[in-house]
Amino acid sequence: MNRKLVLLFFSLVLTIQTTRAQVNVGTIRGTIRDGQTKEALIGCTIRVDGTQLGVTTDVEGNFLIANVPVGNQKVIISYISYQTKEIPNVRVESGNTTAIETELLTEGKALQEVVVRGSRATNTEVAVITEIKQMKPIAVGISAQQIVKSQDRDAAAAIRRVPGVSIVDNRFVLIRGLAARYNSVLINDVITPSTEVDTRSFSFDLVPSNIIDRMIVFKSGSAELPGDFAGGVIKIYTKRRPDQNFTDAGLTLGYRANTTFQTVQTQTRSGLNWLGLWGADQQIPSSFPTKFGEFNSLNPLQRAAYAQLLPNSWGLKNYSVSPDIRFALNLGRRFDVGSIRFSNLTSINYASTNQFSNIDLKLYDNGTIANAVAEQYNDANYARQSRLGVLHNWTARFASGFTLEWKTLFNQLSTTETVVRSGQRIQDGFDVRSFSERFENRSILTSQVSGEHSISELTKFNWIASFGYTGRWEPDWKRVRYQRVTGASGTDGQLQPFSIATPNDPNPIDVGRFYSKLHEYVVSAIGNGEHTFGNPTDREPNRIRFGVYAEQKNRDYSARFYGYQSVGNSSVAKSSDINNAFSPANVNGQNGFSLLDGTKPLDSYKGINTYLSGYVTGDVYFGPKANLTLGFRGEYNDQGIRATRTTVEEQLVSNKVFSPLPSLNFTYKLSDRTNLRLAYSSSVNRPEFRELAPFSYFDFNLLADIRGNTALKTANIQNIDAKWEFYPTPNELISVTGFYKHFTNPIESFLLIQANGLAYTFANANSAQNYGVELEVRKGFSNSSSVFLQNLSVVGNVSLIKSQVNVGDIVRAPDLSGEVREYDIRGIADTQRPLAGQSPYLINAGLYYAAPNSGWQANILYNVFGQRIFAVGNRNNPTIYEMPRNVVDLNVTKLVNKKLELRLGIQDLLNQYVRFVQDFSHDGKIGSDVTSQTADADQTIRRFKRGSYYTLSAVYTFGRRTIIP
């Protein structure tokens, strides 16, 4: 990034601050209540006598009048069916806020027909900006209103609009350049489990955007937040209750260049795969021996008889890809039963989408000559995804101080992926044709009951009881590799046919079937309290907050792998095409194929985690401008892994750690619209079950093994943040944030040192540091004389980040047998490098146009990230970087007759290559995609295009329309 541009930005910010600062004016704020019931009055008119200044109270009875001339002012409060009240001699001081807390009395004859009820809006841009402004820790966020404007389909697409956030694989979130493992994710204030088998991460594509109320990303810690984070704590809030009764339905059709209407090869989907469910024919028959030793002790004929019970579902068919389709049905209801106000929000989502990519894949002989290709392939990769989601929320408000809620969110996502790989193993002299036929099903369920209680005007309490379930299945993942000698011909002069490679022992590279399933259950109990000392109507009352969080998590993971072996004269079976190779005629145990169980004892494990925490935090006020929030959180975590090495289940991991986590958040009000924030917090980063389990998993697309490390330790992080923020108007924001983080024992990816193939694990480095600056601007032009500019708004943010890991000379990691040993990496791998996944810069920008009178909305959005480490390497296999790509999205919306909304979207308009490049020169810098043989040339490993995506949506509202659809 150009330093002059950064300095210019700072200069502009300071100029804006100076020119917009107001002198000889102050602010009046307050709350208006009913004199008898003490409930907040909504819609009261408050005006300053003798001026044009006036506002109305919000749904909590609050109001704020800015730019009031200094001196003694008369405030007049009026409300229908209530007596008008005048408050004389309200003293307004320059740059200060004067608080008014008062009540209105009803007139002698009330108007019974007038009923005013409401709930606090949380899903608008103004509401989110206001919420962030009032928070003690440093945070950023995105509202449902902004998500609707940008037409993002899920939480992953929406959250990349937030400063300092980028997305990996269209579903994993990186904050401040830190990998997904350094984030904590909460849905409705409950910690979500990891949705992946191989990494500690939450898959944000599981949450459709139309059920989101808002997302808040906390960049600094506080006692109320979970302590397991370094990048940030992400809170996803689903929609709670409707503002009024409504029913709306939406239909979206999608066209993707290079995919839609193209003819591709795919496997046959089982019965209910289109709903994200796997069928009975994708399961291992119950008659199969459960122990690999028992199965392998059978003779080839007996094992072949079992193999014939597995369906011959290897055949591929040509398929013309249909347009994507998405459907959503949303219902909201509010009604009263006696004095109890009930509300319900239900959302049902279904999506069927397609993605085809031609992927160029190369592996290099990383000797002294650059770009010496050892293997090169083209992967025809086609994936069909189905998503079924249900949100069902109930709220019962018994009184102003007592509310009960039941929230349930269920999402099921399935992927049917077919990869046809063709190419050469140049170093061995073979032509290769491989197939991968995979189905994956992921499910996530969270259901919680919560209550909010106002015990008194000074004391409030809320609680949550939650149950969560995560499931992931890979039933019958089939893989096979054909090969032939390059250029070899038969007696007829024709090229020799391809033949299936069948090793003596099963392995995941050649030919076999893989089955896995994961079940994880989480039970949580949460309680939070708040007590106000003294008069709660004080301008800045002193408060203390406290709470507890208890969680029990149980995971059960198991995997089975079967490999085909050749028996007798198997040449006919091995040269058969993919449709017929594994038919019963060829799987005969004599002159064809039999089956071997390649499952290892450590391919299954059980994880148990008990998490207990408590916190207390309070505010210390130093006059009307300065506030210090001190907090302490204590977390006890007991993490265990049980697995079978030989014949007996053992306790392989037992980590019991207590973590004291202090925090400090200081806010200084430079003015009513300007804050200076400073924050410090101590946090941790715990290893995930999969990172600890000594289980080896093969990634077909990367041709690499991934295995766990039982020796992993909990990382500790010290976080320091500073933020300057300016709010010109309620929906505008300018902010600059600086941060620094220091890690002890950070958990990083590590490439194992071995002669053949790639194998990754997880290991503790000695230390690391991460620091940078973030700039955010939200700007409108409501005061412009141009109507066009009045309807225009700009949102943009830039993050500049730098990091360094001190790996150390010795790394403790597992060997091929799974036993942990010490590796001396001096001269073999980098002992210092950037953090894996960390981008040196992130840029998001958006230009929004909304003309409410005509019903038109439009926006153009831009996103880019800097090159980041995708896979850590060593001298034999250099580090791989994911390269930047510029993404531009266009969206246009038209509202017709306040009932029908039409939306046109174009995503990834530029359609640039997704590119992964190997740092052959080991200098940490990637140049252009060169083909020269120079020693400093860098090498493209994978390259493909996703295709620009065009969507057309129609949303129709039956009955009354919601504020935010």
Three state DSSP letters for 399-464: ECCEEEEEEEEEEEEEEEEEEEEEEEECCCCEEEEEEEEEEEEEEEEEEEEEEEEECCCCEEEEEE
Mean pLDDT along residues 906-914: 93
Residue 41: predicted pLDDT: 83
State the Rg of the chain over Cα: 31
Mean pLDDT along residues 325-338: 88
Percent helix / strand / coil, the chain, rounded to 5: 10, 55, 35
Residue 368 has pLDDT above 70, yes or no: no
Q: Is the dihedral of CA 503, 506, 508, 514 positive or negative?
A: positive
The 10s digit of each residue's pLDDT in 513-571 is 999 999 999 999 999 999 888 655 455 567 899 999 999 999 999 999 999 999 999 99
The 10s digit of each residue's pLDDT in 703-740 is 778 888 999 999 999 999 999 999 887 778 899 999 99
Residue 424: predicted pLDDT: 94
Instruction: Mention every residue, 6+ apart, whose C-beta is less than 8 A from residue 251.
Output: 325, 326, 327, 953, 954
Q: What is the DSSP letter of 5?
A: H
Residue 13: predicted pLDDT: 40
Residue 404 has pLDDT above 70, yes or no: yes
Q: How far apart are CA 226 and CA 634, in angstroms?
A: 10
For 127, phi then psi, to 5°, come to: -65, -40
Please give the mean pLDDT across all residues of the chain: 84
Tell me which of 159 and 656 has the higher pLDDT. 656
Q: Where are the alpha helices (DSSP H) in 205-356?
A: 292-296, 300-307
Query: Measuring CA to CA, how many Å separate 216 from each of 132, 185, 533, 837?
Result: 8, 10, 28, 22
Residue 121: predicted pLDDT: 56
Q: How far apart are CA 235 and CA 132, in angstroms?
A: 13
Q: How far apart are CA 537 and CA 521, in angstroms?
A: 44
Q: What is the DSSP letter of 686?
A: P
Residue 616: predicted pLDDT: 96
For 273, phi then psi, to 5°, come to: -60, -30
696 phi-psi bin (left φ>0, alpha ψ -120 to 50, beta other): beta
Residue 313 has pLDDT above 80, yes or no: yes
Q: How far apart are CA 895 and CA 148, in angstroms?
A: 13
Residue 116 has pLDDT above 60, yes or no: no
Question: Of 291-300, 325-334, 363-372, where does mean pLDDT reach its minimum?
Answer: 363-372
C-alpha atoms less than 13 angstroms from C-alpha of 927 in its C-beta half-sphere = 12
Q: How far apart are CA 370 and CA 900, in angstroms?
A: 59
Q: Where are the alpha helices (DSSP H) in 739-813?
A: 787-790
284 alpha carbon, distance to own chain's centre: 33
**Per-residue tokens: 52:** 């044009």
The 10s digit of each residue's pLDDT in 822-861 is 888 888 888 888 988 888 998 888 898 888 778 888 989 8
Mean pLDDT along residues 582-607: 91
Confidence tier at 1 by pLDDT (50, 70, 90): very low
Residue 198: predicted pLDDT: 60
**Per-residue tokens: 148:** 């609707």
Is 0.75 topped by the overall pTM? yes
Question: Of 321-325, 903-907, 911-915, where does mean pLDDT reach its minimum?
Answer: 903-907
Residue 4 CB neighbours (<10 A): 8
Confidence tier at 61 by pLDDT (50, 70, 90): confident
Residue 21: predicted pLDDT: 41
Confidence tier at 449 by pLDDT (50, 70, 90): very high
Q: How far apart are CA 951 and CA 325, in angstroms?
A: 9
Q: Where are the alpha helices (DSSP H) in 666-797?
A: 689-692, 787-790
The 10s digit of each residue's pLDDT in 76-114 is 998 877 888 888 888 887 767 788 888 888 765 444 433
Mean pLDDT along residues 53-57: 82
Q: How far apart are CA 440 and CA 278, in angstroms?
A: 8
Mean pLDDT along residues 251-268: 93
Q: How far apart are CA 732 and CA 393, in angstroms?
A: 32
Give the best-scoring range by mean pLDDT among 140-149, 199-208, 768-777: 768-777
Residue 504 has pLDDT above 80, yes or no: yes
Mean pLDDT along residues 364-380: 83
**Per-residue tokens: 81:** 């069916």
Residue 67: predicted pLDDT: 80
Report how far apart the first and last C-alpha atoms of the chain are (Å, whole number): 39
The 10s digit of each residue's pLDDT in 633-660 is 999 999 999 988 777 888 999 999 999 9
Mean pLDDT along residues 762-777: 92
The 10s digit of each residue's pLDDT in 470-501 is 888 888 999 999 999 998 877 677 888 899 99
Mean pLDDT along residues 339-354: 90
Residue 810 CB neighbours (<10 A): 12
Place of tokens 């002198």: 23
Q: What is the DSSP letter of 826?
A: T
Mean pLDDT along residues 327-345: 88
Mean pLDDT along residues 898-905: 87
Residue 24: predicted pLDDT: 66
Tell me which of 180 and 516 has the higher pLDDT. 516
CB–CB of 267/383 below 8 Å? Answer: no
Tell me which of 953 and 933 has the higher pLDDT. 953
Residue 276: predicted pLDDT: 67
CB–CB of 672/730 below 8 Å? Answer: no
Closest listed residue to residue 231, CA positions, set 867, 660, 683? 683
Closest listed residue to residue 939, CA positions, set 851, 847, 877? 877
Residue 884: predicted pLDDT: 92
